Structure 1
Amino acid sequence: MDRLEGLEQTTTLNNGVKMPKLGLGVWKTDNKSAKESVKTAIKKGYHLIDTAKQYGNETGVGEGIKEALAETGMNRKDLFITTKLFNGDQGYESTINALEGTLKRLDLTYLDLYLVHWPVDGKYIDTWKAMEELYRQGKIRAIGVSNFDNDRLQDLLNHADIVPAVNQMETNPINQEKGILEFNNHAGIQLEAWSPLGGGEALSNPEVNKIAEKHNKSAAQVILRWDWQRGFVTIPKSSHEARIIQNSDIFDFELSEAEMDAINQLDKGKRSLWYENFAWHGGEYVDEVDHWDDSPKNYKD
């Protein structure tokens, strides 16, 4: 399978919607860089783009989408666009209202996937009820969650009419979330990996690099292939054209069972972010949109 064929491959979500298995993420990217990355990725064959209101770059992502469609002749339906509900917008009415601001910034009429970015305690049940209503209205093709551990996800399922289609988690060789993966699989929820490369520790791991050398591939390509063979949807971030292409050049080799198992053994359960880090749990991360110098101040929905 060549690179472009691989980027066409999809997984079928629990509501029948087909979602590309490999896409582009834009966390910690300003609007100008997000615009260029998105435009480049689409022109190089990507169909899945993932952003969030909290990233402060929905406007840039929307501009990149618009320009790429114009330059390639592709249609909006050829793309799968994901964004996430801002934590400060959680609650029933505020969730209903927040979608219009997101669609305006992205310059879109609908979303393919809308995720609850984090399970804000005391609000995520009402938030999910609003997500279900937006889904019924046809403004979103699929709804899901992000960063939900098993206890919170089970609580959500106890109150939900619609099972989330996706749970997007920090998942990589050093943080494999095996228990969450097992729970998601049992519930029919697709796991999507954010921070799939795991930073320097995973990329510099001797075992990963030994496997990469054998296949004449980079450590990043080996990790993304490991994701692929495990059935994850994955969204590596890059602002560089060469890396965007390289990250999708993973379809001309296959990891053996022994190589897959070797990477499976690297799990340390080492998360970079979790609930206790955030301000609403008394931690260091404040619940606010990341504004960039090039960001229009249009986040007051």
Structure 2
Amino acid sequence: MTTHPTTGLAGPALTTTVSVKPLVLSAPQRGEDLHVRISAPTTGTSLPVVLFAHGFGSDLDGYAPLVDHWASGGFVVLQATHLDSKRLALAADDPRRPHIWRHRVQDMRHILDELTTLEAAVPGLSGRMDPSRIVAVGHSFGGQTAGILVGLRVTDPHTGAAEDLSDARVMAGIQLATAGKGGDELTPFAHDNLPWLRDQDFSRITAPGLVVAGDKDDLPLSTRGPAWTTDPYSLSHGNKSLLTVHDGEHFLGGISGYQAAETTDENPDRVALVQQVTLAYLRHITGTDHTDWKNAETVLACGHPLGRLESK
């Protein structure tokens, strides 16, 4: 165990990791092969799995500060490049664009269907994953994707239906800087350009979850300000925890990449906080170890300069 000098949080001894990409899955229904990256520790067995969904425009190479930390902490992390990625550059009139939110969920389910194939494609990983312990995690748009897998209902703007697209193979979720409910709280820009945010029902989420929100994350999508991103916590059910990152903006100090240009609140200590709390939660919710999570609950109960952790 080690304790971070700034956050005061404890964490496990980290191990070496390996990443393999691209692992290509045929996906005729999406019009593009699905490219997947796997990051995993080089040692250990019965490794739990993180299914990670990137934010709008990113790809399977993003979020290294988190992915590297989770993998070195004992998790197999799977990332895909979704259709909204700048890397794919879909045309503005591409017929898949209005359904991008749904394609993302289908991508994740396809990965889960092909877990055995993906595991076998990584040298030294075969037989070391535990498919009974899978946590869906996502940032921003990816938070909606992860939320849907654990019960979030999104009203399809074309059909008017709010289907249950959850997946029983996912045991819990982590949503980072994720959109809140829609309705009249959306700005005109969000209403017109992101129709999949118009009606989100968090009340169907009963799986355990951690929500991470920056208290300075004032997105141009809602009239409510930063509190909007706490909706996945306050409006859902089941055992939930909320990490509020003090002075955190949308990229929470820089979680989307090392020296990422889009980070407006660059702060290594803020990133360390998110790294450690999310890893402690992953270890806690998968039954790997509860010590670090209990320590985080105590240290971040109140008065910590970087953030506050609460549960319901």
User: Which structure dedicates a bigger proportion of its chain to helix?
Assistant: 1
Which TM-score band (shorter chain)?
0.3 to 0.5
TM-score, normalised with respect to structure 1: 0.37
**Could you say which structure has the greater relative contact order, defined with CA pairs below 8 angstroms and 6 or more residues apart?**
1
User: Which structure dedicates a bigger proportion of its chain to strand?
Assistant: 2
